[in-house]
């Protein structure tokens, strides 16, 4: 993805058995970016990839936390976990192998 302002959206989801092992407020994440007056949404789900546009985005809709993120300039690795966190890390250029859950990604983004 090109440079610019990216936002990572964290939500809670009780749809899967593994959600009980995750932080109750940070169970799923996806990436959004404003482009040409619309919002591009990119995320990994258990069914595949979500990639679509929205005319507007309201952070007040439902339980969600939105964090502004920047693309890191380091070279992207070849290995990526096929999870929502893995896809977001790959898109943003984050190479920390110890970030595995949405809550760990949230802590990393708020620190930087």
Domain boundaries, the chain: 6-111
- How far is Cα 80 from Cα 111, in angstroms, rounded to an integer? 22
Rg (CA), the chain: 13
- How far is Cα 79 from Cα 26, in angstroms, rounded to an integer? 24
Nearest-CA neighbor of 111 among 69, 66, 63, 59? 69
Looking at residue 45, its pLDDT comes to: 84
**pLDDT tens digits for range 55-75:** 888 765 567 888 898 887 766
pTM of the model: 0.82
Looking at residue 63, its pLDDT comes to: 77
Beta-carbon count within 10 A of 76 CB: 14
* Residue ranges of the chain with per-residue pLDDT less than 50: 1
């Amino acid at each position: 993805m090109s440079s610019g302002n990216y936002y990572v959206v964290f939500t809670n989801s009780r749809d899967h058995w593994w959600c009980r092992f995750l932080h109750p407020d940070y169970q799923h994440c996806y990436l959004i970016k404003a482009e040409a007056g619309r919002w591009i949404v990119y995320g990994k789900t258990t069914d595949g990839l979500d990639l679509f546009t929205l005319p507007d985005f309201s952070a007040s809709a439902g339980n969600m936390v939105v964090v502004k993120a920047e693309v890191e300039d380091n070279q992207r690795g070849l290995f990526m976990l096929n999870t929502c966190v893995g896809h977001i890390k790959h898109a943003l250029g984050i190479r920390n192998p110890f970030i595995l859950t949405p809550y760990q990604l949230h802590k990393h983004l708020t620190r930087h």
